[in-house]
Amino acid sequence: MMEALNANNLYCSYGSQSVLKEFNLSLKKGEFAALMGPSGSGKSTFLHVAAGLINADSGEVKVGGEDVLLMSDSAAAKFRRRNIGVVFQGYNLLPSLTVADNIILPSKLDHKSVDKDRLLELIDKLGLKGLEKKLPGELSGGERQRVAIARALYPRPTVILADEPTGNLDVPTSRLICNIFKTLNSSENCAILLVTHDPVVAASASKVHLLKDGRIASSFETLGDPAAISSRYLETYR
């Protein structure tokens, strides 16, 4: 089976500071994994590289077998719209567009006809009925994040990359978003890589990768146990 995401011997630096080095990580189709590490360890950097948003110094990052590092900026943008769903902590919704128009934005940017059945399916799955014509400014943080997730899922991507998606949310809403990711991982059969520093959020994934000194230091099954994740985390970074 072709891997949904595969990073091989990846190096990435900012100026003289090396952020990722000899970084290797793979994600199978339908797998749900979390990437954890201290602030500044390179978690978000990797997600941005994998999404084709920033360049790396060397190595490869393949999504569905295609190396995003070999693409031009315009090719990477087109590939991302069609194959990679990105969910940010800050939602990144267009404030002048309605909920429905934000969800179908990938179609509009690709000058394709709207898949109305897919739109209705995602509105139902994400609990957004009745909000279709509202603007992002009229929504709660949890509702905005659900719209962002729906937009990421709309093109049926190979992988979802979620960068601290619960960072701006309260605890009950964070739990709701985690449950949504778990349900969608199963129903959509879409690989998900979730960046977080929260062991409770990480426990929603089936596997955790711990990032230290630019490399994956440890990988293990979560068993849905935040306490066990916290223990492994502390052992790695003490």
How do the domains of the chain map onto residue ranges?
5-94+159-237
Q: Residue 166: how many CB atoms within 10 A of its CB? A: 25
Domain 5-94+159-237: which CATH class?
alpha beta
The mean pLDDT of 119-123, rounded to a whole number, is: 95
Cα→Cα distances 214→195, 221, 232, Å? 15, 21, 18
Residue 92's contacts (CB-CB under 8 Å, 6 or more residues apart) are 148
The model's pLDDT over 20-29, given as tens digits with 9 standing for 90+, comes to 999 999 999 9
pLDDT value of residue 110: 87
- What pTM was estimated for this model as a whole? 0.92
The model's pLDDT over 44-76, given as tens digits with 9 standing for 90+, comes to 999 999 999 999 999 999 999 999 999 999 999
Q: Which of 159-163, 174-178, 218-222 has the lowest mean pLDDT?
A: 174-178
pLDDT band at residue 170 under the 50/70/90 scheme: confident
pLDDT value of residue 85: 93
pLDDT value of residue 189: 84
In our burial notation (b when 16+ CB lie closer than 10 A, e otherwise), range 63-97 reads bbeeebbeeeeeebeebbbbbbbbbbbebebeeeb
pLDDT band at residue 136 under the 50/70/90 scheme: very high
